[in-house]
Amino acid sequence: MGRIVVSLVVSNVDDRRRAQRGELPRDQVRATTVEASVDSGATYLCLPKPIVDDLGLPLNGARPTRTAAGVRHMNVYGGAHLEIDGRTCEVEVMSLDESQRALLGQIPLEILDFWIDPVNQRLVGNPEHGGQWMAEAY
């Protein structure tokens, strides 16, 4: 399987809400565009720590995490707004070392109803939902 890379926009949820209430100019909402590798082996949206810091995301705690180097405790942050191809959600973010590439993991893929198309090396809308974004509640 080839590598799938997507462009995504991550912003600070609290900043967005403050801007909606008129407490913060919209151009001061902390946001960034990131190229991320799609990784169904990762659980979270994973971003290098400098990006997490620039976004001002609050620390939720550390979680034991299975990595290629063994189990490590890795920090998880809240308050991230994620947008990919017009689909949006709020997610937690796991921080990575500065040298690592951003990863788009299972939880945001499921929330945004994307499937991995390994043949064409791209994300597609869930074919079980006609490619349209649909939540499930059963």
135 domain-assigned? no
pLDDT at 68: 83
Q: Which of 70, 75, 105, 72 is nearest to 91 (CA)?
A: 105
pLDDT at 2: 57
- The total number of structural domains in the chain stands at 1
What share of the chain in percent tops pLDDT 90? 85
Band of the pLDDT at 69, cuts 50, 70, 90? confident
114 domain-assigned? yes
82 domain-assigned? yes
pLDDT at 38: 97
pLDDT in tens, 73-104: 999 999 999 999 999 999 999 999 999 999 99
60 domain-assigned? yes
Whether residue 120 is predicted with pLDDT greater than 80 in this model: the reply is: yes
- Compute how many other C-beta atoms are within 10 angstroms of the C-beta atom of residue 54: 15
Average pLDDT of the residues of the chain: 95
Domain span at residue 94 reads: 5-129
Q: Which residue's entry shows tokens 């462009």?
A: 7
Q: How far apart are CA 28 and CA 19, in angstroms?
A: 8
Phi, psi of 6 (to 5 degrees): -125, 155
Band of the pLDDT at 1, cuts 50, 70, 90? very low
What share of the chain in percent tops pLDDT 70? 99
Q: What is the CATH number of the domain that holds 57?
A: 2.40.70.10
136 domain-assigned? no
